[in-house]
Chains A and B, each alone.
Chain A
Amino acid sequence: MKHNINRVLHSFGLMTTTVAGLGFGSVALAADTVELGFIGPLTGGVSSVGLGGRNSAELAVALRNADPDSKYHYELQVLDDECKPNVGVQVATKLAANNDVVGAVAHYCSAVAMGTVDVYHRFGLPMTVWGAVLPDITYGNDYPEITRVNGTMINQNEVAAKFMTEQGYKTWAVIHDTTDYGKGHNKYFSTYLAENGGEILSSFGVTSDQQDFTAELTQIKQGNPDVIFFAGLTPIGVRVRQQMDKLGIDAVFQGVSGIKSDAFFDGLGGDLAEGSLTFLEGAPAEKLPGGEYFLSEYEKAGYDRSPEAYGPFAFAAMDLLIDAVETVGPDREKIVEYMGTVENHESITGPISFDANGQNTVARITSYVAQDGAWVVWEDSEYADGTRSLPGMK
């Protein structure tokens, strides 16, 4: 109650002091609740990432609600897109059609985000992407409602191609899923790999629920590539890596950001995962500018699972959205306008600056290697200092 009174004091100045003091504080409390939305894959194969993102977004809301200086009380509506475009469009419509919701932080799966951006645009709901990496989500349209705090697969694959060729690898085989996500990665990685002098021997598109990859892998084995580049999400990544072993293929397993999850190790066990590579925009939470703060708060909140790779981005996106509401008020149009002006905005992932398409310009990409059942930053790993070596590395 005291906080509310203080807030009213700030807003209305000295004249209202007596009025508020006489008991209008509770009225202010009721009017001050602002609803925000979070959407991510909370069930299904990639739910671990989705739940980590949800916890992080919830944390951002909880911290702000506990802050005596915040002008509003925030409530979070959490919806599950199951990483399926059809479900995503349904829940996005549900959220956007609710006039009480003023903004959303949504989507880890690119295919889902591609389907829903039109919905947000139609309803004029400001939405910030917290995990999906397909460039077209921001670059494929000119919707002012859509912004993104994480980087895109363009940067990711540019770094990946350069990194891998620098390790001395020459030949690749590609397995990518046929969603926008897998195809996009395939496209950008192939482009940058060609620039760096790498050669792709064979390339296979697979469905995202495929069980058996032995036929594809048998053909790949024939070409004896140095590296198998897998562009897809954790569940089939686990299957591909498992079946590589069954066929006795000892190439390096190079994934994309979609396999950077702890579920990769749950599905594989440490031995098979060992030496797998992946790339992720940004840096691990503890190396981010506000990472220490984020992780300690996350731990304090007592969540039973890790924030996963994109948790910090979900946190930063939610925090940015709340900052917008604090600055311009709970109004969709004004928030969209505000998002258009974001430049060097403080966040735990580093300063956020949106370009003309609402894309945050994250330059930093980190390479990871699987070591002893965890993703370790390449530079800190025993692979980088020569203690261990990847298959085929001289």
Chain B
Amino acid sequence: MDLGLIAQFLANGIVLGTMYALVAVGFTLFFGVLDVIKFSHGDVLMLGTFAGFTVWLGLEAVGIINPWLQLVVVLIASMVVTAAVGAAIAKWLVLPLKKAPPLNTLLVTLMLGTAIREAVRLFYPDGSNPKAFPALLPDASIDLGGFALRADSVILVVAGLLLIAGLNMMLNRTRLGLAIRAVAQDEETAQIMGINYMLVVLATFAIGSGVAAFAGVMNGLYYNEINFGMGLLLGLIGFSAAIVGGLGNLYGAILGGFLFAGLQVVGSALLPFASAYKDVFAFAVVIAIMAWKPTGLIPERASERV
């Protein structure tokens, strides 16, 4: 195997890893703050991507064709929609069930995800067919000895990593971040200290969902295609990545995302049998890791071990 080939695999893996990490970050934020699993995450992401796509169609219709302007508007639209939907789910579905067993939250969001998915399939015009997502990024590429490095992939990865870094800084350096961490650590004490609990929870869900929308648009730009089912596998992979990395830990989510992408690439590149099994391979390794480290590779510091 020559260097160009390895570089190509590496590049593919990094793009995928960034996408998975962005989704996993949402799972980890929600769990950190409320100790809940929100299974509709992937489908909210899909909804946001479709919202962005619709806005793009609108922009085309009114004649705004500058790709950079389009990109910014599409990104803002889809992130705002997802953030709003995420916050709404927190307010009306997750918080009211706070006293109920966690299984109920999991089930409710699981069903909500299916409802969102089917709603897009049935009610979005021609929603069951894949849509051609526009290529808004420059498509220049440099050929480095059998390895095509594309400008759009580089931009996507850099933007995705910057977003994660920004999120990390927000959590560690700002008052909102402090409040989120306080609520995550001890909800009652945080409330006594005067933190607006409801506001912090809603903000967390809005931020987590908005980040996922970025992953959705990134997915659309990378593959130039979106469909109503795209959130299902992305959500599942993001969830697994968050668990493997250590639920409730931001670095764990990032590690998990890249690990999963790495496993997929290894699964299809190195294994002798057909690449149709790459997801089987990746998920099987995840199972093995969970058996080895039940709380994930980087466990939440304040995790309550039983």
Residues of A within 8 A of B (CB): 43-45, 47-48, 178, 204-207, 209, 211-212, 214-216, 218-219, 221-222, 235, 238-239, 242-243, 246-248, 263, 266-269
Q: Is the CB of B130 within 8 A of A218?
A: no
A224 (CB) vs chain B CBs: closest residue: B146
* Distance between A258 CB and nearest chain B CB, rounded to angstroms: 15
Q: Which residues of B have CB within 8 Å of A214?
A: 8, 12
Task: Take A215-B268, A246-B148, A246-B150 as given contacts and tell me if A43 and B223 are in contact as well, using a CB distance cutoff of 8 Å.
Answer: no
Stretch at the interface among B98-106, B178-186, B225-233: B225-233
A216 (CB) vs chain B CBs: closest residue: B275
B129 contacts A by Cβ under 8 Å: yes
Q: Which residues of B have CB within 8 Å of A239?
A: 223, 225
B111 contacts A by Cβ under 8 Å: no
Q: Which residues of B have CB within 8 Å of A263?
A: 129
Q: Is the CB of A235 within 8 A of B230?
A: no
* Distance between B260 CB and nearest chain A CB, rounded to angstroms: 12
Q: Which residues of A have CB within 8 Å of B78?
A: none
Q: Is the CB of A242 within 8 A of B129?
A: no
Task: Take A211-B230, A215-B269, A218-B8 as given contacts and tell me if A238 and B128 are in contact as well, using a CB distance cutoff of 8 Å.
Answer: no
Task: Take A215-B265, A218-B9 as given contacts and tell me if A45 and B129 are in contact as well, using a CB distance cutoff of 8 Å.
Answer: yes
Bound-complex Cα distance A238 to B226 (A): 12
Q: Is the CB of A215 within 8 A of B129?
A: no
Q: Is the CB of A267 within 8 A of B274?
A: no
Q: Is the CB of B269 within 8 A of A218?
A: yes
Q: Which residues of A have CB within 8 Å of B227?
A: 45, 235
Q: Which residues of B have CB within 8 Å of A209?
A: 229, 233
Q: Is the CB of A248 within 8 A of B148?
A: yes
* Distance between B71 CB and nearest chain A CB, rounded to angstroms: 18
Name the prevailing secondary structure of the B interface residues.
helix
Q: Is the CB of A206 within 8 A of B275?
A: yes
Q: Is the CB of B276 within 8 A of A267?
A: no
B155 contacts A by Cβ under 8 Å: no
- Residue interface bits B138-162, CB-to-A below 8 A is 1, else 0: 0001010010101001000000000
Within 8 A of A (CB), among B264-287: 264-265, 267-269, 274-276, 278-279
Q: Is the CB of B275 within 8 A of A205?
A: yes
Bound-complex Cα distance A45 to B130 (A): 6
Bound-complex Cα distance A44 to B121 (A): 9
B119 contacts A by Cβ under 8 Å: no
Q: Which residues of B have CB within 8 Å of A178?
A: 274, 276
Bound-complex Cα distance A218 to B147 (A): 9
Which of the residues B128, B223, B264, B265 comes within 8 Å of A44, measured between beta carbons? B128
Bound-complex Cα distance A218 to B149 (A): 12
Name the prevailing secondary structure of the A interface residues.
helix
Task: Take A211-B233, A239-B225, A242-B224 as given contacts and tell me if A47 and B5 are in contact as well, using a CB distance cutoff of 8 Å.
Answer: no
B217 contacts A by Cβ under 8 Å: no
Q: List 26 A-B contacts (CB under 8 A).
A: A45-B130, A205-B274, A205-B275, A206-B275, A209-B229, A211-B230, A212-B12, A212-B223, A214-B8, A214-B12, A215-B9, A215-B265, A216-B268, A219-B268, A221-B5, A222-B1, A222-B5, A222-B146, A235-B227, A242-B224, A247-B8, A248-B143, A267-B130, A267-B132, A267-B225, A269-B132
Within 8 A of A (CB), among B84-131: 121, 128-130
A266 (CB) vs chain B CBs: closest residue: B132
B16 contacts A by Cβ under 8 Å: yes
Bound-complex Cα distance A242 to B135 (A): 11
Q: Is the CB of A204 within 8 A of B275?
A: yes
Which of the residues B1, B128, B130, B141 comes within 8 Å of A248, measured between beta carbons? B141
* Distance between A218 CB and nearest chain B CB, rounded to angstroms: 5
Bound-complex Cα distance A204 to B121 (A): 30
Q: Is the CB of B16 within 8 A of A212?
A: yes
Q: Which residues of B have CB within 8 Å of A216?
A: 268, 275
* Distance between B167 CB and nearest chain A CB, rounded to angstroms: 25
Bound-complex Cα distance A392 to B101 (A): 63
Q: Is the CB of B146 within 8 A of A268?
A: no
Bound-complex Cα distance A293 to B225 (A): 37
* Distance between B156 CB and nearest chain A CB, rounded to angstroms: 12
Bound-complex Cα distance A206 to B223 (A): 17
A247 (CB) vs chain B CBs: closest residue: B148
Q: Is the CB of B223 within 8 A of A211?
A: yes
Q: Is the CB of B129 within 8 A of A238?
A: no
* Distance between B262 CB and nearest chain A CB, rounded to angstroms: 11
Bound-complex Cα distance A207 to B130 (A): 16
Q: Is the CB of A268 within 8 A of B132?
A: yes
Q: Is the CB of B276 within 8 A of A215?
A: no
* Distance between B146 CB and nearest chain A CB, rounded to angstroms: 7
Q: Is the CB of B225 within 8 A of A47?
A: no
A238 (CB) vs chain B CBs: closest residue: B225
Bound-complex Cα distance A50 to B135 (A): 29
Interface centre among A207, A212, A239, A267, by most B CB within 10 Å?
A212
Which of the residues A47, A211, A221 comes within 8 Å of B8, measured between beta carbons? A221
Bound-complex Cα distance A243 to B8 (A): 13
B277 (CB) vs chain A CBs: closest residue: A205
Bound-complex Cα distance A155 to B165 (A): 57
Bound-complex Cα distance A142 to B265 (A): 44
* Distance between A296 CB and nearest chain B CB, rounded to angstroms: 27
Which of the residues A44, A218, A222, A242 comes within 8 Å of B225, measured between beta carbons? A242
B278 (CB) vs chain A CBs: closest residue: A215
Q: Which residues of A have CB within 8 Å of B9?
A: 215, 218
Task: Take A215-B269, A243-B223, A247-B148 as given contacts and tell me if A238 and B276 are in contact as well, using a CB distance cutoff of 8 Å.
Answer: no
A219 (CB) vs chain B CBs: closest residue: B269
| 5 closest A-B pairs by CB | A248-B148, A215-B268, A43-B128, A214-B12, A205-B274
Within 8 A of A (CB), among B202-258: 223-225, 227, 229-230, 233
Bound-complex Cα distance A222 to B147 (A): 10
Please name 10 further chain A to chain B contacts, defined as beta carbons within 8 Å, in addition to the given A178-B274, A216-B268, A248-B148, sorted by A numbering. Answer: A206-B276, A209-B233, A211-B230, A215-B264, A219-B268, A235-B227, A238-B130, A248-B141, A266-B132, A267-B225
Q: Which residues of B have CB within 8 Å of A268?
A: 132
Q: Is the CB of B130 within 8 A of A235?
A: yes
- Residue interface bits B1-30, CB-to-A below 8 A is 1, else 0: 110010011001000100000000000000
B7 (CB) vs chain A CBs: closest residue: A218
Q: Which residues of B have CB within 8 Å of A235?
A: 130, 227
Which of the residues A45, A207, A212 comes within 8 Å of B276, measured between beta carbons? A207
